Amino acid sequence: MTPHIEAAPGDYAEDILLPGDPARAEWIAETFLENVKIVNRVRGATGLTGMYKGRRVSVQATGMGMPSAAIYINELLMEYGIKRMIRVGTCGGLNADYKVRDIVLAQAASTNSAQNAALFGQYQFASIADFGLLRKAADEAEKAGLRTVVGGIVTDDNFYDPLGGAPYEVLKKHGTVAVEMETAALYTIAARYGAKALTVATISDCLITHEQLSSDARQESLVEMVTLALDTLG
């Protein structure tokens, strides 16, 4: 056990999906997995393990933002033998060329978080995805005919932006595809422990065109995204 996870050794599979929302974690398990066992309920951060196409896979909610996600990622890697981690979630598009429902495969994650700045001092650590997972996800997406974007994203500590998107201008000029709140922590901590990590995120709204997914379209797109993530772990 850890301060935030009550699971016993062996309760988690070596492969795990990391949504932020506990309700989404339960939905993933109910929709895609068989023989599901709940392994964590501490603080409402649901963890579950089941079978997908004959393989053992876990799902663990991480909450929103780098501080929350970092707690769960650290504890999973320190105590539970996780080898491969895929964050599944949504993101905001920063380029009008990419549409809502497009799936972003995050190659790298810039961040404004103080976590990495405090840790690396004079260095700016490059938070990057595992290439094997990234390549497999791109191949699986092509086979499935999904609209995907491979590129850099930004992990922002702020959800609400009082400056109206102004801070993103320089990132957009340097090809940044989307914004979300967890990936830089995932990639940095995975690198520390020698684990493999990737973020697969659906563009749910575009900060440039202000297009948004309807609730029905959001649910359909999540099915595509989660299926892609699970098949990438296959």
Read off the pLDDT of residues 133-174 as tens digits, 9 standing for 90 and up. 999 999 999 999 999 999 999 999 888 877 666 678 889 999
What is the reported pLDDT for 164?
Answer: 64
Q: 111: how many CB neighbours lie within 10 A of its CB?
A: 24
Low-confidence ranges of the chain (pLDDT < 50): none
| Alpha-carbon gap, residue 183 to 35, rounded angstroms | 29
Residue 203: strand pairing partners: 91
pLDDT value for 117: 84
The residue from 97, 205, 216, 231 that is catalytic is 205
| Strand partners for 50 | 57
The torsion region of residue 39 among left (phi > 0), alpha (psi -120 to 50) and beta comes to alpha
pLDDT at 161: 72
Q: Between the CA of residue 81 and those of 24, 35, 73, 85, 196, what are the distances in Å?
A: 23, 21, 11, 11, 12
205 annotated active-site: yes
Predicted pLDDT at 165: 61
pTM for this one? 0.95
Q: What percentage of residues in the chain have a pLDDT greater than 90?
A: 79
Determine the pLDDT at residue 52. Answer: 98
Q: What is the Cα–Cα distance from 19 to 230, expressed in whole angstroms?
A: 13
